[in-house]
Amino acid sequence: MIETGYMQVLAAAALAVLAIVLAKVKAIPVGKEIAFGTVRSFVQLVAVGYALEFIFNTKSFWLVALSVAVMTVVGAYTAAQRAKHFTGGFFIALISISAGSLVTLGLMLALRIITPEARYIIPLAGMIISNTMNAGAVTFDRISSDLKDHRLAVETALALGKTWRQASLRFYRNAVKAGMISILNFMKTVGIVALPGAMTGMILAGASPLEAVLIQVIVGYMLISSVSIASILAGEMAIRRFFNAAEQFVG
């Protein structure tokens, strides 16, 4: 792959066609979805490509901020879909994701790991937001289902004179840990089971493997920090929703 252009993409589309043919032959009902996904991913990504080119070229701070804000809102909305049995999921997710991104990106800027340029901020924010979004969603999911399934355990503790925090502590901890588990697993297996996408992309685009690896390590540290912040905040704020000031379970 020397020069990537639309011709190469068109040629690669043959691979998608191969998948469709296979699905047809084996009568697996995904042919339409593959076709749709092939077109859709092309359109979405090309649109994003043009948008990024535009943003990078204009060098406008506000445009960068706006794109990050849009990504954050969409991420918060998506995570909030998993907030069952309690209200305010969107705002909790918005605060958790924003804090996770702002703190980590802020630190990376302060430590001069990156410079305040769109070409760093936007892709890194995108990675942080999609990871914190997943962490928030998993934390929400776990808190909702654990507190619902273990209502008797929680109320038994309350009935024995424990505070809501004491009564729910182990479920809070489990939920926060669940939110972090996928990034923890990622850090354990990275490089052994699979090469991460960002690193692969850099190598394909011509960077030296060592340079790509160093960037990947930085990305990993950045993600563990942002995911920790987001999971803890999401868990902290979500679990409060199930109790009131009279130490009553109101979920």
Partner 1 sequence: MSCHNTVVLETRHAGRQIIKNGNAIRTVDNVSYAFNKAHIYNLIGPSGAGKSSLLRLLNRLDEPTEGEVRFFDKPLAEYPPTELRRMVSMLFQTPYLFPGTVRDNLQFCCCDLTDDKIGQLLTRVGLDESFAGKDADDLSGGERQRVAIARALSLEPEVLLLDEPTASLDPTSSQTIEDLILRLSEELCLTTIIVTHHPNQALRLGGETLFLVKGRLVETGKTEKVLKDPETELARKYINRELR
Rounding to the nearest 10 degrees, give the CA dihedral for residues 118, 122, 124, 128.
150
- State the nearest-atom distance from the C-beta of 155 to partner 1, in Å: 6
90 and 80 Cβ atoms separated by less than 8 Å: yes
- The answer to whether residues 128 and 105 touch, using CB atoms and an 8 Å cutoff, is yes
What is the identity of the amino acid at 193?
Answer: V
158: part of which helix (H) or strand (E)?
helix 151-159
Least distance CB 159 / partner 1 (angstroms): 4
CB of 143 to partner 1, least distance (A): 19
- Interatomic CA distance for residues 244 and 194, integer angstroms: 46
User: Nearer Cβ to partner 1, position 33 or 155?
Assistant: 155
Residues making contact with partner 1 (CB under 8 A): 152-153, 155-163, 246-249
Q: Rounded to an integer, what distance in angstroms lies between the CA atom of residue 44 and that of residue 69? A: 19
* Smallest distance from partner 1 to CB 171, Å: 13
The vertex-150 CA angle with 96 and 167, nearest 5°, equals 70
Nearer to partner 1 (CB atom), residue 69 or residue 159: 159
User: CB-wise, 160 or 193, nearer to partner 1?
Assistant: 160
Indicate the residue among 105 and 158 with the shorter CB distance to partner 1.
158
